[in-house]
């Protein structure tokens, strides 16, 4: 995520991201350290975008963090994926976020008002006639479990704005990306960087989905590769495509 955000920021000539990083093997100590460091970080920088990612989904910590951000950086756009997204939804804070980037399984969690973790999603949300991410995204919005915009990652990526599908991205299709851990995280990093550069949220999500897929194609993705290989392909992908995709033409 951070590597992708750095690549996009560098391409656009924007300041690089600030990051709070800590190790956490599931005990929550790293998560607590990150949230504890947030007030000091906000005293040093006033962010335009704040992205929450791999943290333990501790609702109380997320509530404190969002309260702090509303006081100290009220105009910051909030982005979430992974544990940060779980905590925001479980704490009833999802509507305060501008963008979330669930995969096709996680959007079922966002649509279920009764659960606080994806492991406990009601089976009926998965239906009997195939999985419908657009329907679940609409339910998530109606039930207060979603950010204003969702980028639902899947075979076809769906960008859903206030419950309605606004765009889809299906090409290039690179199935091997599914087997490479972290390639969904790179998409979140790209979207956050584009938001910080001033892209409208819909455009940021669409460009992130396109860039992530194109990087998979350019790197010749195989299951033996790593997310860092995708990040390494991003400068070429952004140089050759972002101007045409968005009108954001770096000089």
Max Cα separation, the chain? 51
pLDDT at 182 over 80: yes
Q: Distance between CA 66 and CA 51 in Å, rounded?
A: 12
pLDDT digits (tens, 9 = 90+) for 18-62: 999 999 988 999 999 999 999 999 999 999 999 999 999 999 999
pLDDT for the residue numbered 190: 99
Q: Distance between CA 132 and CA 128 in Å, rounded?
A: 10
Helix (H, G, I), strand (E, B) or coil at 79: strand
pLDDT category at 126 given cuts 50, 70, 90 is: low
Residue 8 contacts by C-beta under 8 Å, 6 or more apart in sequence? Answer: 189, 190, 193, 194, 197, 211, 234, 238
Higher model confidence: residue 134 or residue 115?
134
Q: 193-196: list long-range contacts, CB under 8 Å, 24+ apart.
A: 193/4, 193/5, 193/6, 193/7, 193/8, 193/9, 193/12, 193/14, 193/17, 194/8, 194/246, 195/48, 195/49, 195/77, 195/79, 195/98, 195/99, 196/9, 196/14, 196/17, 196/47, 196/48, 196/49
User: Percent of the chain having pLDDT more than 90?
Assistant: 86
User: b vs e for 224-245, b when ≥16 Cβ sit within 10 Å of the residue's Cβ?
Assistant: ebebebbbbbbeebbeebbeee
Q: Which two tokens stand for residue 186?
A: 């790179």
Q: Average of pLDDT values for 118-137?
A: 67
pLDDT category at 179 given cuts 50, 70, 90 is: very high
Sequence ranges of the domains in the chain: 2-241
pLDDT at 120 over 80: no
Under CATH, what is the fold of the domain 2-241? 3.40.1190
pLDDT category at 124 given cuts 50, 70, 90 is: very low
Q: Which two tokens stand for residue 234?
A: 């991003």
Q: Average of pLDDT values for 129-152?
A: 92
User: Percent of the chain having pLDDT more than 70?
Assistant: 93
Q: Distance between CA 154 and CA 101 in Å, rounded?
A: 11
């Amino acid at each position: 995520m951070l590597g992708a955000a750095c690549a996009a920021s560098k391409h656009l000539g924007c300041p690089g991201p600030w990051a709070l990083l800590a190790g956490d093997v599931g005990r929550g100590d790293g998560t607590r350290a990150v949230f504890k460091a947030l007030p000091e970080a906000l005293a040093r920088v006033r962010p335009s975008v704040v992205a929450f990612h791999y943290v333990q989904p501790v609702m109380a910590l997320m509530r404190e963090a969002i309260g702090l951000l509303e006081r100290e950086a009220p105009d910051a756009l909030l982005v979430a994926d992974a544990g940060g997204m779980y905590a925001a939804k479980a704490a009833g804070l999802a509507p305060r976020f501008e963008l979330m980037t669930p995969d096709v399984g996680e959007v079922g969690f966002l649509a279920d008002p009764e659960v606080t973790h994806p492991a406990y999603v009601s089976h009926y949300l998965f239906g009997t006639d195939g999985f419908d991410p657009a329907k679940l995204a609409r339910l998530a919005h109606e039930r207060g479990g979603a950010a204003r915009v969702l980028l639902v990652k899947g075979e076809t990526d769906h960008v859903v704005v206030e419950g309605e599908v606004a765009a889809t991205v299906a090409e290039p299709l690179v199935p091997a990306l599914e087997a490479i851990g972290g390639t969904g995280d790179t998409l979140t990093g790209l979207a956050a960087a584009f938001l910080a550069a001033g892209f409208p949220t819909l455009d940021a999500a669409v460009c992130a989905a396109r860039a992530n897929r194109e990087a998979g194609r350019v790197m010749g993705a195989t299951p033996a590769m790593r997310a860092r290989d995708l990040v390494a392909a991003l400068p070429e992908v952004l140089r050759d495509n972002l101007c045409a995709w968005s009108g954001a033409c770096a000089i």
